[in-house]
Chain A
Amino acid sequence: SQQGEEDPQALSIQEGENATMNCSYKTSINNLQWYRQNSGRGLVHLILIRSNEREKHSGRLRVTLDTSKKSSSLLITASRAADTASYFCATDAEDTGRRALTFGSGTRLQVQP
């Protein structure tokens, strides 16, 4: 499977609820990033967390990183209909001796108004 696998693949919640998405990866990393993509458009950077950080906040977003478990989670609090999008984690995975930004398969979030 790919470096950076998100879980769940799809999530449907009501407006106002919290949404949690998880990302697991395989190799060591220097940092992990989360991006959002609205239907077939470009990605928007949400947050970058470095390997020596455990938690980071940005507005309604909270990201945690557990390097011992090779996993990260993205929490969106008090979700809004406008949060409906696909969310991807990306890691600087090493591949054939070089590090490249590797994206997971994404979580599709649907927030019902």
Chain B
Amino acid sequence: KAGVTQTPRYLIKTRGQQVTLSCSPISGHRSVSWYQQTPGQGLQFLFEYFSETQRNKGNFPGRFSGRQFSNSRSEMNVSTLELGDSALYLCASSLGGTIYNEQFFGPGTRLTVL
């Protein structure tokens, strides 16, 4: 089985712009979660989607949003980028939900905001 893929792998944006990141889960996995990783805050949960519905959301401002398609692929969008949004964004998929199952992570998208 192919692993979790994320595109793009690297991205450079400027403040005020918006960005869309994409994640393709492992075939058959219906749950997709997103995380932000920074040196200062560590790994923080953004949101989880299951069967096209947002099941859970972390403590991030409304500028961070996401969606999941019928084929379980997911996108996350960050609008009005700020310098502090520079981070490694990780996507993970699992068969069931994030808290009860092993998660399979993608390689991440490294976003740099200038």
Contact = CB atoms under 8 A, between A and B. Distances in A.
Nearest to A102: B45
B81 interface: no
A14 interface: no
A100 B46 CA distance: 10
Interface of A is mostly: strand
Interface string B1-40: 0001000000000000000000000000000010100000
Given A48-B102, A101-B98, A102-B45, A41 B107 contact: yes
Contact of A100 (B99, B101, B104): B99
A92 B105 contact: no
B88 A101 contact: no
Nearest to B108: A42
On chain A, which size bracket covers the interface?
A: 20 to 34
Given A30-B100, A100-B99, A43 B56 contact: no
B65 interface: no
Interface string A28-47: 00110101000011111100
A101 B42 contact: no
Contacts of A60: none
Interface in B52-101: 56, 58-59, 88, 90, 92, 98-101
